[in-house]
Structure 1
Amino acid sequence: MAKIEEVKAMVEAGKMRQVPVLVQEALAEGSAAQDILQAMVDSMSVVGDKFSAGEIYVPEMLMSAKAMAKGVDVLKPLMANGSGSSLGTCIIGTVAGDLHDIGKNLVSMMMESAGFAIVDLGVDVPATKWIEAIKDHKNVTLVACSGLLTTTMPALKEAVQTIKGSGLTGFKVIVGGAPVSQQFADEIGADGFAPDAGSAAVKAKELVS
């Protein structure tokens, strides 16, 4: 298990070169791909907590996410073989009027590593585009709407209520972003809320399983 602990430490430290090497070594040591992935997800949860507490900032969080992504690349061929590793398709984007994408990109990485296929709609996504994307893709189990500005909270509300009122079923809606709270998520009818990228992946798995 020693190598897994090293993987966790290097993800937390954002060491992009070391992580894939250590992942290979952990696999050679006999660790299961799923266990290594879980260790990296756990590490990103720690990073997310530190970010929320103001101990680290966006650049450090991005470095950790990129380091994890390098590790996930090593694991992907192994994970693809395991049926049931996929949690379905997650459609993600930042709502209309909002051009922020760092948080969304972090969440995308975390969701993908957790086992979702990602469809990223980008930024400034109008409510109707979410509906089109849900119809265009198979096995959509999760829709993740991001809003980073207080001024775009009405757009977040519109997006969620448009998706929920579309008559389309089979998926859950999760929301997040700096001004968003659990209370606001409840008010607009979202199924879930996450305060940061690390907890978003955990909450997403809870919602669809």
Structure 2
Amino acid sequence: MIFSLIEKLAAPSGLFVMGAFHPRRVYQADDATGTLVLLGADKTCWPKFTASTEYRDGAPDPLDRWSKRMIGWIANEIGAKDVYPSDGPPYAPFIGWALNTNRFFKSPTGMMVHDTAGLMISIRGALRFDAEIELPAATAVSPCLSCADQPCVTACPVNALSADHAYDVPACKAYLDTAAGQDCMTRGCKVRRACPVSQAFDRDPAQSAFHMVSFKG
């Protein structure tokens, strides 16, 4: 089974299948064919990435370059086309793809939440197949439905996530420049950390700090 082979090839790099779907069954269009499989970073990814040439060579965009090398190799091994969120414009609709896998959902904050990664989502790329490969049934439900306290809603220290889900990026970045904001810079976004599923996913804080530096620019 190709799906099992993808999981096997991805695991040594700290990547895992975050979701997959058949576009024809979702979009119901003649030109929506094949299969899309989304690969993301699991909690073992960080030490493998930091041991890589890309991390150490000082060139720009080390994680994107490493992801392309790892996922490109998998694509070559199994006869798929590799696609990446960083390639564009035009950019591939990764958010729409993710939500169509029935493993990603909208959280109360407006951020996407994943059934096993919570708010600690790092989609590194996708594999596109011309054929419809067999996929396991996607039976996940949003973890937010059983989260009574919803700590993510009140976790942001500057209320950068408003009630209508408008994300105040300037307010967030300004806070990161303050002494109090260093907790978010070095350990990751407090909203993402507040999610119980994120906590169980146990991502290395150094990985979150890396993403925060990239986000802040």
TM norm structure 1: 0.31
Larger helix proportion of the pair: 1
TM norm structure 2: 0.30
